[in-house]
Amino acid sequence: MTPDTVAGRYRLEQRLSTTVMADVWLADDSVLERRVVVKLLAADADRSRFEREARAAAALAHPNIVQLFDYGEERGRPYMVLEYLPGGTLADRLPEGKPLPDVETRRVAAQVAAGLAHAHLHGVVHRDLKTGNVLFDSEDRAKVADFGIARIHGTDTITDTGTVLGTAAYMAPEQVVGGAVTPAADVYAFGVLLYRMLSGRFPFESEHPMELARMHRDLDPPPLRSVRGDAPGDLAALAMAALTKDPGARPVDGASLLAELERGTSAPTLVEEAATVHLPALRRRRRGRLAYLVAGMLLLAAGLVVAAIVVGSRSSAPAVTSRAKETSTRRHRPQPSVTLPTSTPSTSTTQPTTTHTAPPVTTAAPPPPPPTTSTTVSSTTTTPSTTAPATTGR
């Protein structure tokens, strides 16, 4: 490594930033002839955090997550090579004290939610989502960046119990108290980000990080519609739901956020790109459950048809009435200040078993021959009708 070259191929051109963690450079990849970003670990920085960021980025491949190209070490100094995003950050785009245009807000929200959905599906919780960590590429696509303090499922934690990591303005209440961090923490940070884009201000504001953290822990945010009365109703509702104190009462993860955005928009093209790339595995699981349901219904229908044929063929079989009981389970999650559209509750139906028992058949002796005397006999024979039982589910 020369003073201006890393790994013999990445020529450092312009320093983009310097933090306690790393030096970030705009560089030229002489092998593939493209611009990249080279991130070099600072001398006294946490090496494990740097490696964690690289592992998290390498585990995720999604259009709304910054892509990792390379990772290595020269002369004891680790480095990572990331895609270059010339569009700047979301923080750069937010007008002071004013909301973003609603169309822009909806598009960015959908793309960030899609990136979170992919990360959560792969067991990664970002833990530091904020406007400075949402970047834009040359096609103006939003991408989630900086997984330096991410929690990765199945690996050792970066912190001890009770340790607080994150940015105070975006911290979920459970992060503030050092509790367990799940995808719901990213959902809360998404709520802060969406609140800011819609209203031009943060739900809580203070110059002191500790005071900000206390407010996120103890106070309910002002209803967004009280701050901006003409905010789109579905987006305002989603922001407030994401900011619920109880993590169990928020949308579950990034996939839930994106589902709400898709449900609420009246212009599907605004989230079309995000919708086509978010959670294909989730789509497959839903299709699989639907296929099982359809197959079960077809088998049930076939069984009823066979039963009707069998019963109809036995005129001596009595009519049997059966009643089916249907049980329905609803799960309600409390929403303190807003009610989001709920999905159709799942219904579990137990099909009863109906047994038809035919009476024993008695064979009568043949009638005696008619007498020689002519006799006129008038007889009426009535054949009882047999009706297949109707099953009623309640």
Q: What pLDDT, on a 0 to 100 scale, did the predictor assign at position 354?
A: 41
User: By the 8 A CB rule, do 219 and 117 touch?
Assistant: no
Reply yes or no on whether the pLDDT at 339 is more than 50. no
Of the given ranges (80-94, 142-156, 181-195, 334-348), which has the lowest mean pLDDT?
334-348
pLDDT of 327 > 90? The answer is no
Q: Using CA atoms, how far apart are residues 391 and 394, in angstroms rounded to an integer?
A: 10
Residue 147's pLDDT band (boundaries 50, 70, 90)? confident
**Residue 277 in contact with residue 237, Cβ under 8 Å?**
no
pLDDT given at position 52? 84
Instruction: Provide the CA 364 distance to its chain's centre, in angstroms.
Output: 72
CA distances from 150 to 55, 208, 212, 217, 392 (A): 10, 24, 22, 21, 53
pLDDT digits (tens, 9 = 90+) for 191-240: 999 999 999 999 999 999 999 999 999 999 999 999 999 999 999 999 99
303 C-beta neighbours (distance < 10 Å), count:
12
- Phi, psi (degrees; rounded to nearest 5) at 69: -95, -35
Residue 287 token pair = 């299709």
Q: With a cut of 50, say whether residue 132 has pLDDT above it.
A: yes
Pick the more confident residue, 145 or 298.
Answer: 145
- Active-site residue 160, yes or no? no
Q: What is the CATH number of domain 5-83?
A: 3.30.200.20
Looking at the predicted structure, is the pLDDT value of residue 139 above 60?
yes
Reading the block at residue 96, the tokens are 């002071």
More confident residue, 361 or 73: 73
**Out of 14-23, 95-104, 287-296, least confident range:** 287-296
pLDDT at 393: 44
pLDDT, greater one: 299 or 198? 198
Q: 3-state class of 303 per DSSP?
A: helix
Q: Which residue did the predictor score with more confidence, 35 or 377?
A: 35
DSSP summary character for residue 96: T
Mean pLDDT for the stretch of residues 314-340: 37
Least confident range from 6-10, 53-57, 380-384: namely 380-384
Q: Which of 126, 104, 127 is nearest to 115 (CA)?
A: 126
pLDDT for residue 263: 87
pLDDT confidence tier of residue 287, bands split at 50, 70 and 90: low
Backbone angles phi, psi at 124, to 5 degrees: -110, 125
Over 70: is that where the pLDDT of 49 sits? yes
Q: What is the mean pLDDT of residues 39-57?
A: 89
Would you say 145 and 60 are in contact if contact means Cβ atoms under 8 Å apart? no
Confidence label for 11 from pLDDT (cuts 50, 70 and 90): very high
Confidence (pLDDT) at 293: 56
Domain boundaries, the chain: 5-83, 90-278, 285-312
Q: pLDDT per residue over 353-367, tens digit each?
A: 444 444 444 444 445
How far apart CA 299 and CA 261 sit, in angstroms, is 36
Mean pLDDT of the region 72-91 = 93
Identify the band that residue 186 occupies on the pLDDT scale cut at 50, 70 and 90. very high
- Residue type (1 letter), 303: G
Average pLDDT (325-335) is 37
The DSSP H or E segment spanning 275 is: helix 272-277
Query: Which CATH class for the 90-278 domain?
Result: mainly alpha
If you average pLDDT over residues 9-35, what whole number do you get? 94
Which residues partner with 6 through β-bridges? 10
> Over the chain, what is the mean pLDDT?
76
Predicted pLDDT at 360 = 45
> What pLDDT is attached to residue 248?
95
Residue that has been written with the tokens 């088998």 in this structure: 299
Of 128, 146, 186, 253, catalytic: 128
Average pLDDT over residues 308-319: 41
Residue 378 confidence (pLDDT) above 90:
no
Give the pLDDT score at 1: 53
* Integer angstrom CA distances of residue 237 from 11, 56, 194, 359: 48, 31, 11, 64
Secondary structure (3-state) at 9: coil
Q: Is it the case that residue 243 has pLDDT exceeding 80?
A: yes
